[in-house]
A and B are shown apart, each in its own frame.
Chain A
Amino acid sequence: MKEIRLVCPAGTRWLRDKIGIILVNEEKNSQWLLQDFDAMLWIYLVCGYHPAELANILRPVFGIDADGMKKRIFDMLSNWQAIGLLQEEEFIHGESDHQSGL
């Protein structure tokens, strides 16, 4: 069964700095800085957490209820798609879940 997942465009690299997460895509000549909530969300995704399970983990940190946190997470993912940090990719369920750059 085909499904959709979000991945970084090829060539995206990231590193952690004191001020936050710095991302660079040389092919697209793009760079981003993620801080606070955005940086924390990025790290959880990198560590293999599904966005749906993050609402409960992040809720107490930011003092938001579960529904509010879920909305904030999915809004952020949409935003990252809009700015080119993430893109949709079709995959067949059961295949490797390796995500380029993530």
Chain B
Amino acid sequence: MKKEFNHSDVFLIPIVEPYDLIYAPLQGVRAVVNRAESRRIAEFLSGEARDGKTDTLCEYLSEPPHILHVVSEGPITRPLFLGLIPTRDCNLSCRYCNFTTSEKHKVIMSLDLVMRSIDAYLGLLSQNGNSRADLHFFGGEPFYAKTVVVSAVEYALFKALKMGIDVYLEATTNGVYDSELCHWIADSFDTIILSLDGPKEIQDKQRPSLSGASTFETVHRNAKIFSEGSAELVLRSCVTGQTTAQMKEIARWMTQEYLPAAICFEPLTSTSRAQMAGLFPPEPWDFAREFCKILEMLAPTGIDVICSTVDIYKVQNTPCALGKDALIVAADGSVYACYLLPDEWKQRGLNLKIGSVREDGFEFDMGAVEGVRKLANQKRTICTGCLCLYHCAGGCRVHHEINHRFYDDLCIYTRIITIYKLLMDLGQNDLANFWLSNHDLVKKTTLQPTDRLEEQEL
């Protein structure tokens, strides 16, 4: 009688005959083996091994998962970070951004709320024995509410020092402000994620100011200041169908002009504003291929090339903060689990509001907290057989449509880049590039309905 196969999180991806990629994220195992070896591993793991022989790879694969798949439960004791949204307002009018500036988005967080949020957060950390605080700023453009950010940072550092807590500071910004403020940011923050879509022509077309004027010169000057500061600089480019072919050129230009620790390429998410501006998302096959070329080009430089769904070094339920007990405070004192506009998740019938900041600390709605955790842990139909299950994990719960049965654009580029990165990490550069250069092979591998070893005919 066939024994029950109990290693369902071992994935097999055929690359090119006779080579297969074996990937077990929870055991931290990745290997390139030939087909005969794949069969032997499958037999061993199913208990059908004829010769009973084993080896190191089989032993590793049959171990219980040692990379913990942490799922938050119970009261919030280790929040991922405190996020502050000083304002939803912004000084840019990006052609694809749906964070439109209406009157209700022009509210600026009060300094009283800033202080109460930080007090509540540091208090929560201290009560639970945590010695590191993570303070993140989102918008709109957070530095458009300069006083809020400067005050939040200085107050947090002032209070945390007295409590023996280290503070890590991160902000996502458009880089359009004076050099005085930029110098302070560059020397005060640990990580700056700067949105810069590319050289002048691309930046000014996609990311003009509210009046439609050029923003390139200011962002360029400030990116240089960030490059010289102590903050780690991550440059983030939004890739459209029109700029896909220029991705490599953009990456090269960024590394020549600035000193980024990482360059992030994210494909455009289609919005009504983007459509009106004639901007559309890139073809996933093209985006992935260009991304992989950049991975190879920048590998010797030590500059990371990142995309939110392709962090293969993490094991997680979502590729973002959702479900990890992040506390994101808006200007009205609401605490959210996600930085997106409430209208966006409400339209999907979701509730991502998990509490409020009161006079004496956070007040959590534990029913909502559990609801968010459950949402983050939900396995999506198409994901269960996918090798990206534990890092992409199905992508954004708000924007990525759930429970379809076929791979969509996000799945396609995520799968291609993941496979390429795994091969490159194994030093299989020639195999990776041969595979990538053959569209039929890439298509066959990418579209296979399940990657699970147990479900494949070998």
Contacts and interface: CB of A to CB of B under 8 A. Distances in A.
Interface residues of B, number: 19
Interface stretch (B148-156, B197-205, B270-278, B385-393): B148-156
A46 B180 contact: yes
A44 B158 CA distance: 14
B187 A15 contact: yes
Interface string A10-28: 0000011011000000000
Contacts of A19: 161
A15 B112 CA distance: 28
Contact of B158 (A36, A46, A47, A48): A36
Interface string A52-76: 0000010011000000000000000
Contact of B180 (A39, A48, A61): A48
B155 A61 contact: yes
B111 interface: yes
A44 B150 contact: yes
B433 interface: no
19 contacts: A16-B187, A18-B161, A18-B166, A39-B158, A40-B158, A43-B154, A43-B188, A44-B154, A46-B180, A46-B183, A47-B150, A47-B180, A48-B180, A48-B181, A57-B111, A57-B151, A60-B111, A61-B151, A61-B155
Interface residues on A, range: 10 to 19
Given A16-B187, A44-B150, 15 more contacts: A16-B188, A18-B166, A19-B161, A36-B158, A39-B158, A40-B158, A43-B150, A44-B154, A46-B184, A48-B178, A57-B111, A60-B112, A61-B115, A61-B155, A61-B158
A7 to B, nearest CB: 14
Nearest to B178: A48
A62 B180 CA distance: 26
A47 B185 CA distance: 9
Interface in B161-179: 161, 166, 178
Interface string B184-197: 10011000000000
Given A36-B158, A61-B158, A47 B184 contact: yes
